Every structure is written in structure tokens, then in C-alpha cells.
């Protein structure tokens, strides 16, 4: 028998379909914006498309938000994108990382769950921090992860990671709402892709 979360999810999907809240026109424009920014010549990953469908339907709760950079891409705001990538260089389209969700961990930290096109799976990165040194450290770790020089060594380590289990862990984290900040921060450190391969 399906658990309550699964039944709730099915009910919410049925409601979305029944009330026609989903706008195909908006969705098509958003897919085109993603395709254009990331220069996709192949199919956009299915999970990214699912996130866009849920985003258009108002599915996400306030404690889990779609990432601000993804919103910039969907809006096609090139000025905001250029400004954002001056600091967070790894969001530049050349790295083919699509940030999907941002989870506030407290104490200045955030955990970003996104899609790594090269890895062909979800990855998570710790972002920001409680002071400037931690912010810079987390930016440098992410840039190192996405750098071309580390690519071959990284791919060998990534092959050993169970993508399905990692995705399940990230989805569990998205559902966490009633745990202490310190526990959530510790959990994010276990799920940070950089911690797994360095």
C-alpha cells in the first residue's frame, strides 16, 4: 500500500490536471529559455522538465524554492545572469549545471540541488556560509568540481556513486521541514557532491 506522501503527491497531480492549472504556453517558453541559455542540442533532462511543470503549477511550498538563478534563466534576464555569474562562476552555461532548488540551512548556509548534465544526475552543493571566508571556500570547491582539469578524475569517482540513491537522498532533504538547523546542515554536508569526490 502506498504511503501518505505518495497518495498526497498523486492527489496533487490529479488536482493540477483536473483544474488545468498547468500552462503549456508558459512551459514551452521556459523550455526554450533553458535550451537557449544552456545551448542544448539534445533533449532537456526529464527531471528538469518535471520541475518546470511543478513550478508552473504552484506545487512547491514556501520552504523549498526553485533556485533564483533558474528563475533568471526562465525570465531570460541576461543582465541579472551576467551579474550573478561574476561571483558564482559555476552557474555559467559552459558548466552545464542547472540549479533546481535552494534550501536555506540557516547560519548563512544554503544547499543547492541541481542537475549536472555531464554526470546526468542530480548533485548537491553547499553554498554561502557564516562569513566571507566560508563563502569563498564554497565557491572555490564548486568551481573546482566543474573545472575541466578535474573532469577526468572526477568522472572516475562519480561512476562509483549510486545516482539513484543520491537522488532519493536529495528528494528526502527537500521534504525536511521540522528538523533543527544544525541537523539539516550536517545532513547537507553528507550529501554535498564535493565532499563525496574530494
- Convert the pLDDT of each residue in 34-68 to its tens digit: 999 999 988 888 889 888 888 887 777 656 678 99
Mean confidence (pLDDT) of the chain: 84
Q: What is the pLDDT of residues 69-82, one digit of tens each?
A: 999 999 999 999 99
pLDDT tens digits along 83-125: 999 999 999 999 999 999 998 888 899 999 999 998 889 999 9
What percent of the chain lies above the pLDDT cut of 90? 41
Q: Measure the CA–CA gap between 118 and 29, rounded to whole angstroms.
A: 24
Confidence of residue 10 (pLDDT cuts 50, 70, 90): low
What is the pLDDT at residue 2?
Answer: 45
pTM exceeds 0.75, yes or no: yes
**How sure is the predictor about 140, in pLDDT bands with cuts at 50, 70 and 90?**
very high
For the sheet containing 109-116, what is the strand order? 65-66, 97-106, 109-116, 121-128
Amino acid at each position: 500500500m502506498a504511503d501518505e506522501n505518495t497518495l498526497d503527491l498523486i492527489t496533487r497531480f490529479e488536482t493540477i490536471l483536473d483544474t488545468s492549472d498547468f500552462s503549456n504556453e508558459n512551459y514551452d517558453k521556459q523550455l526554450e529559455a533553458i535550451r537557449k541559455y544552456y545551448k542544448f542540442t539534445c533533449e532537456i533532462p526529464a527531471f528538469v522538465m518535471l520541475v518546470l511543470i511543478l513550478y508552473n503549477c504552484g506545487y512547491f511550498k514556501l520552504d523549498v524554492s526553485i533556485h533564483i538563478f533558474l528563475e533568471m534563466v526562465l525570465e531570460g534576464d541576461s543582465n541579472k545572469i551576467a551579474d550573478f555569474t561574476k561571483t558564482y562562476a559555476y552557474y555559467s552555461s559552459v558548466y552545464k549545471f542547472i540549479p533546481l532548488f535552494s534550501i536555506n540551512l540557516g547560519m548563512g548556509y544554503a544547499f543547492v540541488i541541481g542537475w549536472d548534465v555531464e554526470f546526468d544526475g542530480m548533485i548537491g552543493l553547499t553554498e554561502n556560509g557564516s562569513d566571507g571566508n566560508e563563502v569563498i571556500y564554497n565557491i572555490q570547491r564548486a568551481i573546482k568540481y566543474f573545472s575541466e582539469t578535474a573532469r577526468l578524475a572526477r568522472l572516475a569517482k562519480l561512476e562509483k556513486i549510486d545516482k539513484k540513491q543520491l537522488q532519493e537522498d536529495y528528494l528526502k532533504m527537500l521534504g525536511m521541514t521540522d528538523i533543527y538547523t544544525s541537523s539539516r546542515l550536517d545532513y547537507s554536508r553528507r550529501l554535498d557532491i564535493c565532499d563525496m569526490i574530494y
